[in-house]
Structure 1
Amino acid sequence: MSQKVVVIYSGGMDSFTVLNKALQQGHEVSALSFNYGQRHVKELDVAAKVCAELGVPHKVVDITAINTLLAGSSLTDDIEIPEGHYQEQSMQSTVVPNRNMILLSLAIGYAVSEQASAVYYGAHSGDHAIYPDCRPEFVRQMNVVSQLANYEPVAVVAPYLEDDKNEILADGIRMGLDYEKTWTCYNGRDKACGKCGACIERLEAFAANGLNDPLPYE
């Protein structure tokens, strides 16, 4: 059944797949992106281009002021981006304190104002080990709170919550998606580094699906 939904869209491959999945399901989609001071702000330019191509209404909200409160993440502070797989302890430095609760809260408010019935975001099983706000129990409880917080209940939906990056990519390939239109690397340079956790997981997903990643790497 078609619904009006808000998709939190970072410009990365997970949220790109979620955005297109919602569209292919026949939903009326509004995309919402956040500038929270991330090094890889390049992803927002990628998101804007995709939404323009798809004709999807797109808002980019500047919330960089919150970084005066949230310190200690290598994604936003002057801390070197760690190299290696997400399973490694060093990758905990990429956690932005309470990020998804903040972003979901803002997106839920936007959904209420737009009379949308759900907020979609790209949490998946590969994030469970390192990001507490992508775990199933967090999503379930945010869904409960979201439907209590306003007179108009808004569902929190993570379509790939139990799937890994390999499965997300496989679903996107089935949908005919072009992943050259995404940005994943935590270093916001001209080319992807190929060494940070985000790049490694992405490259593993393409390899698992017998494909070459269309993005250029350093």
Structure 2
Amino acid sequence: MPSKPSSVPSAAPWLSRLAGALALVAVAGGLSGCGAINRVPTLEEQAKSAWSEVQNQYQRRADLIPNLVETVKGYAQQEKDVLIGVTEARAKASSVKVDASTVSDPQKFKEYQDAQNQLSGALGRLLVTVERYPDLKSNQNFLALQSQLEGTENRIAVARRDYIGAVQSYNTEVRTIPGRWIAAWFYPDAKPMETFTATPDAARPPNVKF
């Protein structure tokens, strides 16, 4: 008479899960001891900090533009279209809402970059018109704004460079082993970040030297 199948569940799956959990704990302990388990969040925070500096410098530029526009308007009211173009580009750039999540959202990041590039282009066109107004170029208020703008454009370039470097380090970590495994197990919300891309003319800082 054939024997009845045993009703006792196999212990193999349970033992396999236990072994996997113990192995994970052991690996985590080893990684924690050497600091590898903290590398993903550390690089993430560095990239976010660099992103904040990019935003700060772009905001600094935006804050300078109203005074620049008013100063130019006092000497070159006939450049109405150029002045309006700068004002509208600034308003559009300022209307793009960004936060820490923007760096991992391709659409939002592109929207932000495009708006800033458009403002750079409009600002560059405004500064080109200044060549036609010698009195404006010698105005002390304009010279002070010119110096501040030049410094800000340099800071933007440095901030973008630092951000690109920080994102490269972070993205490499979460896309390669063992960082990829660590992120999957311990930091499931960690996502690759977006970075700036070069675009002809628009991404080039305006020339503010006369």
TM-score by length of 2: 0.28
Larger fraction in helix: 2
Larger fraction in strand: 1
Higher alpha-carbon Rg: 2
Structure with higher RCO (Cα < 8 A, 6+ apart): 2
